[in-house]
């Protein structure tokens, strides 16, 4: 069976589905569904923001987060597709949420003094779709994390929310799906392996879900876009071999495997995302610290 749908976990594909103006309604629908937003909290519109948050990387016009936007109330959403399991991803999530939060501060020049208008700060929601297990002790495939009072469990500090969707923990078959959240989980995990009949069953009468599948239909992609997709898929396979070789080289120099593995995975994850933005190999090398030879093995 020849499959006609691309893998939505591929960063380039993910961006095309959720990070472009033409598919903005798909992103809105997805956020409302996954976050279970209704009535006053429901998103009716989003505005995309530049995803560059690191000044050193900004020089090279490189984004790390996949999608950054805010809704009609000013609440910001960071949406990430994370396929590589590297140490400290939960810290990175908090770092980017705090950067998005702090850069909202409006600086007003009054009598040559700058006043930070903290009361105007709006919340930040970080949503990650992870193709690996982040929390081994948690059974559920999705988890939500907020700042709570440790005695009363009240959510007094409301401006940060983190949600993680761990795809390896999602095991439902097509005929077992109940909620729209489960349909989205199935979409990310199984869309590229599904037949046209299975996809029609999943879509049902949901026009936005249909749009999401149209966005990953190879027939709607240009040869150049497909080439970028195939290049990233090849890079994913090469990364495993390169990671192992780099770890073995580090061990030969007397470094501990655990100390090195997370650092290598983090660098390669950044390099992979930069590749999807068509950054040159020399710039990728300068930013990540990976050598040209190492990058060529990956790409």
DSSP reduced 3-state for 47: strand
Res 57: pLDDT: 41
User: What would the two tokens of residue 66 be?
Assistant: 């996949």
Range 176-199 average pLDDT: 94
Ranges of beta strands (E only) in the chain are 46-48, 67-71, 76-82, 107-110, 113-116, 124-130, 142-146, 160-166
CA–CA separation, 208 and 28 (whole Å): 10
Res 140: pLDDT: 96
Range 102-114 average pLDDT: 58
65-81: b or e for each residue (b if 16 or more CB lie within 10 Å)?
bbbbbbbeeebbbbbbb
Look over the chain and give the mean of its residue pLDDT values, rounded to a whole number: 81
pLDDT tens track for 20-38: 999 999 999 999 999 999 9
Res 56: pLDDT: 43
Q: Is the pLDDT of residue 64 over 70?
A: no
CA–CA separation, 211 and 190 (whole Å): 16
Poorest-pLDDT segment among 4-18, 205-219, 258-272: 258-272
Question: 112: which DSSP letter?
Answer: T
Predicted TM-score of the model (pTM): 0.76
Site of tokens 């993910």:
14
Question: 88: which DSSP letter?
Answer: T
The distance in angstroms from the start CA to the end CA of the chain is: 28
CA–CA separation, 8 and 25 (whole Å): 17
User: What would the two tokens of residue 224 be?
Assistant: 């150049």
CA–CA separation, 182 and 209 (whole Å): 12
Non-local CB neighbours of 110 within 8 Å, separated by 6+ positions = none
Count other Cβ atoms within 10 Å, centred on residue 58. 12
Q: For the sheet containing 160-166, what is the strand order? A: 46-48, 67-71, 76-82, 124-130, 160-166, 142-146
Range 218-228 average pLDDT: 89
CA–CA separation, 297 and 121 (whole Å): 44
Distance of alpha carbon 38 from its chain centroid, rounded? 23
- Taking the CA of residue 264 as centre, how many other CA atoms within 13 Å lie in the half-sphere pointing to its CB? 24
Give the helix/strand (H/E) hosting 242: helix 223-252
Non-local CB neighbours of 253 within 8 Å, separated by 6+ positions = none
């Amino acid at each position: 069976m020849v499959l006609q749908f691309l893998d939505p976990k591929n960063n380039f594909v993910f961006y095309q589905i959720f990070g472009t103006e033409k598919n903005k309604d798909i992103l809105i629908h997805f956020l409302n569904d996954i976050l279970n937003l209704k009535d006053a909290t429901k998103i009716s519109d989003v505005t995309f923001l530049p995803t560059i948050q690191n000044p050193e990387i900004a020089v090279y016009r490189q984004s790390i987060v996949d999608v950054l936007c805010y809704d009609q109330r000013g609440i910001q959403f960071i949406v990430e597709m994370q396929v590589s399991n590297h140490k400290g991803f939960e810290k990175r999530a908090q770092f980017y949420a705090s950067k998005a939060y702090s850069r909202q501060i409006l600086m007003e020049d009054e009598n040559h003094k700058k006043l930070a208008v903290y009361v105007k700060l709006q919340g930040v929601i970080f949503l990650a779709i992870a193709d690996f297990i982040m929390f081994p002790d948690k059974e559920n495939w999705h988890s939500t994390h907020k700042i709570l009072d440790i005695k009363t469990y009240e959510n007094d500090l409301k401006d940060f929310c983190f949600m993680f969707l761990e795809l390896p923990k999602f095991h439902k078959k097509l005929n077992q799906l109940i909620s729209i959240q489960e349909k989205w989980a199935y979409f990310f995990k199984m869309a590229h392996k599904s037949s046209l009949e299975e996809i029609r069953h999943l879509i049902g009468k949901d026009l936005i879900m249909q749009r999401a599948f149209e966005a990953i239909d190879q027939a709607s992609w240009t040869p150049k876009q497909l080439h970028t997709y195939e290049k990233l898929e090849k890079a994913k396979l090469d990364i495993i071999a390169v990671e192992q070789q780099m770890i073995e080289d580090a061990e030969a120099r007397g470094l501990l495997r655990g100390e090195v593995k997370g650092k290598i995975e983090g660098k390669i994850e950044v390099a992979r995302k930069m590749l999807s933005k068509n950054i040159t190999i020399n710039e990728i090398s300068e930013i990540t610290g990976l050598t040209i030879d190492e990058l060529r093995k990956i790409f």
